[in-house]
Structure 1
Amino acid sequence: MAEQLRAVKGMNDILPPDSARWEWFEDRVRSLMARYGYANVRTPIVEPTALFVRSIGEVTDIVEKEMYSFIDSMNGDALTLRPEATAGIVRAMIEHNALYNGPLRIWTVGPMFRHERPQKGRYRQFYQLDVEALGFAGPDVDAELILMCRTLWRELGLMEGRDVRLELNSLGQLDERRAHRDALIAHFEHHSALLDDDAKRRLHSNPLRILDTKNPAMQPVVESAPKLMDFLGEASLAHLNAVRSVLDAAGLEYRINPRLVRGMDYYNLTVFEWVTDRLGSQGTVCGGGRYDTLIEQLGGKPAPAVGWGMGIERMLLLLEEAGVQPPPVGPLAYAVVPGEAVLSAAISTLEALRAAGVSVLMHAGGGSMKSQFKRADSSGARYALIFGEDEVSRGEVSLKDLRDPAAAQRSLPLATAALWGADLLNA
């Protein structure tokens, strides 16, 4: 017997019935994006390694430790499985000159790859929802994207304040971050004895990332570090206050978190996270912000941009922890087919029902009526369609309500299946 092969560690199969939860979530996302006017894009999962080094930054955990990178044996190209979506989207916009006719609102969903320790809700192949608004400079779109999240929470059955809450900050502009960076370096150098190895490594390359440390021993020195908010100029503060004004008018509560940073180098001005207490210490379920220099950084004409990303596995885990259950999935009807003598009539009728929009599952493989009814009940269907030989010979099919034992069984004409099928959908 051949050796059994298994999935790569941290890369999971998604099978029924669990896959129905994914479809339910994605259906709501598609509906939401259409209502906000965001169009779908799809980019390759494999990109040039240089794309992520230039966009994310060389001195980041993602580039240094987590990327699945390899050399293409056919031509020697350095390639990487995408660890996040934004860089690939920006590359595509530049390559196809997609902003030529004006700003774009777009979204995508798909697998990303990071080689980190797998844990509940975090995997080496994980799925991300990514939403971007390209070519918009004003705080109005920042606020729109944040409020879009609130709409999604409500439609998924999550409650703001109890299940999720918003944290907000500004990273200012490059010159302001440079002044803050110099102050941070001086502060951490003064307390160098308290720094762990990661902090020492990042001190002169990316000191802002030290503020995001999860090391409890370093929290006092982080808390006493200079705050970027104190270095923001008038324009940066005005942008942040304009975002806050819209959120306040919409009645959305939030907390200004001066220690909130992003893991990628390309962010500026508005940054935000939606966080939860339901998932332990790894509480971020959605994060994003503005990245006005990335398009130029990757070779395009300068254009502002803002967006957010959400890990779908973690979102589904949050929904489970919050007790949100998707509606049960099952066909509206289950076809009981006793034998081959009625098979042609049954299939023709079922095709007419499906064309009318009725979801119907046909029993296959034979079996007794008792076993077929058992399968019909376990399928979750509301109705059983019984194609008995006597009924079919009269040009009829019997309809039994599986969820209402008191309901009388009815006979319906095969020739008008589309008509009474539509009635079943509205019942």
Structure 2
Amino acid sequence: MTAVAASPAAVIAAAPSSALHERGCAALWLKTTLVWLPVTSFLAIPQVQGTTPANLLILMLLLPLTGPLLLGLRGYADLIARLMPFLLGLGILFLASRFALLSASDGLAGLSLINPRFALPLTMTANVTQSIYLVVGLTLFLLVRRHYDRSWDGAIFSGAWFLLAYGFVDWFAQTFLGFNADFMANRTFDVGRFEMPGSLRQNILFAGFPMLRFKSFTGEPSMFALTALCYLALAVVRGRTWLTAALVLALLLSFSATAYAGLLVFALVFSGRLRFGQVAPALGLLAAVASIAVWWDWETIWRTVDHLFIAKLTAESHSGAARMGSFVRHLQAWWHAPFPLLVGYGFGTARSTDLLSSLLVNLGLIGTVCVFLLLGQVLRVAQRERRTIEMVGMATVFGLMLVAVPEFAYLPPWLLAGIAMRPPEGEAR
């Protein structure tokens, strides 16, 4: 099992050098994928979950008919070869989890099942669909890690501006005109006998004024924060000042604790890299704005801070209590079953409100350690190549996922990980 877990990192490190298959359709295909990358609330086929444009475009690269045409035979074979260790390790863990499930005295009690329907004996529908999402993310990571160059930036940042432009139009229309301008969202999720929209609209009272929490075409404000923080790290690295400013503004308008925590980490990193004289004007301006806001309406400021941070951290709010309860329940379900403790209940079985307990429940201790080893490899390469911002961005995003947003199927974190782990120019890939 250990050898299987270690093989992905070895395959990544030993990947041979080759340029991306430079056909016009291949370049256009990949750039189109990058533009659609942040879109998650729109399905190309509404009746089929997960058929976001980016997911479909990436899956087409894996099919034996279209993949070789787009990547070339050598490129396609290389991609499949580098995917195989991940798939083999996931398959071994899944088979082991089937035996572990049979031995668990409480079965699946206490777990928030993604989809309780079974497609095959001992295999839920969600085990299949969630594994497909994982394969899509891994494919993007491997392609970016292998082939990324600066010519991709235009498509990447076009996707970021697409995310922001759509979000600002929707935010302005709802906040100031009172109507829903989110015409693209068509995704829904089955929750028991009910359907839940795939893009939740949440309002907040700010100084007595109802305001839509910024979420664009992601699932909810915290998921938008996860996406936008990835683009923020890349925008800072490339010196995209206007994009950086727009992303920061959108993150602030999301009123998400996840967004504010990420911005705080970025601010601390930047302030640590600058001399005090360089950050003093910004600190003075921030202190002045905060003082005026507190003097103008202290009660509103306190209620907002309490709602976004204190009540959640102390589990006094409904959101904070639900998150804490879900974490404890899934941790107990994992800890109290002897065999699932090691291999989990099977990838895609359950979804907690945080990634850490979701990993432990689905992949067990062995799979969770493998995930952390892969992350460590990404951070190690980024640190070695002095990609501090990418490294901080990846660590921040993954840390927030561990405690608050268990969305491994969102593609921007995979994009950021691939860029952070790319080898230097001219080195074998």
Taking structure 1 as the reference length, the TM-score comes to 0.25
Rg larger for:
1
TM-score by length of structure 2 reads 0.25
> Which one scores higher on RCO, CA 8 angstroms, separation ≥ 6?
2
Name the structure where strand makes up a greater proportion of residues: 1
